[in-house]
């Protein structure tokens, strides 16, 4: 199935990728990309997925790699694997490895396919996050912001690109179990909102909007509910296409504290 889909996409991909690589003067032909594609479809797709984003924190189609800068670094990873991780070594010749790299590089051109937005700029995205987007009113990044929503310090390693996009453009589509918003009203009428941490028959543990961990006895509550809609605003209409691309570009660079 995945292979069929890849083959189907190939003509589009090759056409899209060709002008960019041709400009670089490496003399890369569609046949080279196709050879890489077939190797990818045989040996990589089961783990990395047809779009290269199936492993959380790794996005082969982003053109950005955590562990590689140059094409040569990529060849090394492909041949030697990444010791201590599930990324296996493979007995690929230099030529086969190079075709794989050509294919990975060509994927970058198609990585934006989920959104047809303009190319983003991480620097501008950081500014949008800190000002217009008001993201730090609810999120923490490094030492800045608050903890009303999930910490985004390492969002670029823990979530795939498509998940980050969905979080911004359709927040209620997928709320992770660990981010479930809960709203409770105590018997005395006090309203408490926060993120569910845990619950059992008698109690609910939540992180309230000030970042304080609370344990509430259900018997002390007038009502409580787990929200199906995210408190996170939908940014589809709040930010321009350019700003959204910028913010997404910034978020994928957030790989945790170094
Ligand atoms: C058995 C599963 C598996 C297979 C098969 C596999 N990979 Fe991986 N790969 C991984 C995992 C897991 C990681 C992440 C390792 C880490 O950094 O923790 C990874 C990481 C990578 C990275 C580094 C990404 C980065 O951001 O630095 C590259 C490049 C890569 N794989 C390419 C490939 C290619 C090309 C193939 C096919 C020849 C392949 N992988 C086959 C599991 C796999
Ligand atoms: C009113 C508070 C609020 C604001 C403002 C807000 N968020 Fe959120 N955000 C949340 C909450 C709560 C969640 C967890 C529920 C969910 O997944 O939708 C969340 C989830 C997310 C996620 C998914 C997290 C994960 O672990 O998968 C991302 C990414 C994100 N927000 C980014 C942003 C960015 C970027 C901005 C600014 C442009 C922003 N948020 C503004 C409250 C907010």
233 lines ligand 2 (CB under 6 A): yes
122-174+232-252 topology per CATH: Cytochrome Bc1 Complex; Chain D, domain 2 (1.10.760)
CA distance 256 to 258: 6
In order along its 258 residues, the chain shows pLDDT tens digits of 444 444 444 434 443 343 333 333 446 777 888 889 889 988 999 999 888 888 888 888 877 788 998 899 999 999 999 999 999 999 999 999 999 998 888 776 544 445 667 788 999 999 999 999 999 999 999 999 988 788 899 888 777 777 788 889 888 877 777 778 889 999 999 999 888 888 888 888 888 877 788 889 999 999 988 888 888 899 988 999 999 999 998 998 887 764
Question: If we measure between CA atoms, which residue out of 141, 142, 138 comes closest to residue 209?
Answer: 138
CA distance 61 to 40: 12
Judge if 122-174+232-252 and 177-226 fold alike in CATH terms. Answer: no
CA 87 to ligand 1 center in whole angstroms: 4
Per-domain boundaries in the chain? 2-114, 122-174+232-252, 177-226
Decide: 184 and 196 in contact? Cβ < 8 Å: no
Per CATH, the number for 2-114 is 1.10.760.10
CA distance 58 to 67: 10
177-226 topology per CATH: SH3 type barrels. (2.30.30)
CA 226 to ligand 2 center in whole angstroms: 17
Which residue, judged by its Cα, is nearest atom 12 of ligand 1?
A: 86
Q: Write down the pTM of the prediction.
A: 0.56
How far lies 174's CA from each of 177, 198, 256, in Å? 9, 19, 22
Decide: 159 and 166 in contact? Cβ < 8 Å: no
* Residues in the ligand 1 pocket, defined by CB under 6 Å: 43-44, 46-48, 55, 58, 60, 65-68, 74, 77-78, 82, 85-88, 90, 100
CA 106 to ligand 1 center in whole angstroms: 17
232 lines ligand 2 (CB under 6 A): yes
How many C-alpha atoms does 215 have within 13 Å on its Cβ side?
Answer: 6
């Amino acid at each position: 199935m995945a292979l069929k889909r890849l083959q189907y996409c190939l003509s589009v991909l090759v056409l899209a990728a060709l002008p960019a690589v041709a400009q670089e003067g490496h003399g890369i032909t569609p046949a080279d990309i196709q050879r890489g594609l077939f190797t990818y479809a045989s040996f990589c797709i089961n783990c990395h997925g047809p779009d290269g984003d199936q492993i959380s924190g790794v996005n082969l189609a982003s053109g950005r790699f955590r562990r590689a800068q140059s094409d040569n670094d990529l060849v090394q990873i492909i041949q030697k694997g990444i010791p201590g991780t599930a990324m296996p070594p493979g007995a690929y010749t230099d030529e086969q490895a190079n075709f794989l790299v050509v294919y990975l590089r060509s994927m970058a051109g198609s990585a934006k396919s989920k959104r047809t937005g303009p190319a983003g700029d991480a620097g501008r995205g950081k500014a949008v996050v800190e000002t217009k987007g008001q993201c730090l009113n609810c999120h923490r990044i490094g030492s800045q912001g608050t903890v009303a929503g999930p910490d985004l310090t390492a969002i670029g390693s823990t979530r795939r690109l498509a998940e980050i996009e969905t979080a911004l453009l359709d927040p209620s589509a997928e709320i992770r179990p660990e981010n479930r918003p809960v709203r409770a009203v105590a018997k005395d009428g006090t309203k408490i909102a926060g993120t569910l941490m845990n619950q059992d028959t008698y109690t609910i543990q939540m992180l309230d909007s000030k970042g304080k961990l609370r344990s509430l006895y259900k018997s002390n509550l007038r009502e409580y509910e787990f929200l199906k809609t995210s408190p996170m605003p939908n940014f589809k209409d709040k930010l321009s296409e350019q700003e959204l691309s910028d913010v997404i570009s910034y978020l994928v660079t957030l790989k945790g504290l170094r």
